[in-house]
Amino acid sequence: MAQHTQKVLVIEDDHMLSRLIAKALMAAGLSVLEAANGKVGIELARRKRPDCILLDVIMPKVDGVTVMHEIRKTPAGKRIPIIYWTNVPKTELMSSVAQGTVHYMSKANHSLQELVRTVVSLVAKG
């Protein structure tokens, strides 16, 4: 029986950063999907049902908060761990984070290794 590889959806408009994150996650044994904007991210989340989503907040087309709300509208989307990976201050995202449905990690204050450890931990719980 084939083992399910955990899928992580990275929704990030900075292509270089997205590729760097994707490589680190793949090195940790995860499968990675990438979306360069929120609109594509919503479509991929609905079609591919990732096990975790890394979500930037300030993006073209659809911002990260709107993406999170759209994903949470579906039963499957309610169960996916979402990590805001952003430099937007946590205080501006408190309504999402306070609900316990979204995790917050600051790009400026957390390393790529910390991000990968958090993702691996979240998908292991799923």
For 4-28, write each residue's pLDDT tens digit: 589 999 999 999 999 999 999 999 9
CB 85 within 8 A of CB 118: no
Using the 8-state DSSP alphabet, how is residue 28 labeled?
A: T
Place of tokens 């709300």: 69
Q: Is the pTM of this model over 0.95?
A: no
For the stretch 32-81, pLDDT in tens is 999 999 999 999 999 999 999 999 999 989 999 999 999 999 898 988 99
Structural domain boundaries in the chain? 7-125
Residue 58 gets the label, from left (phi > 0), alpha (psi -120 to 50) or beta, of beta
For the stretch 27-43, pLDDT in tens is 999 999 999 999 999 99
Fold of the domain spanning 7-125: Rossmann fold (3.40.50)
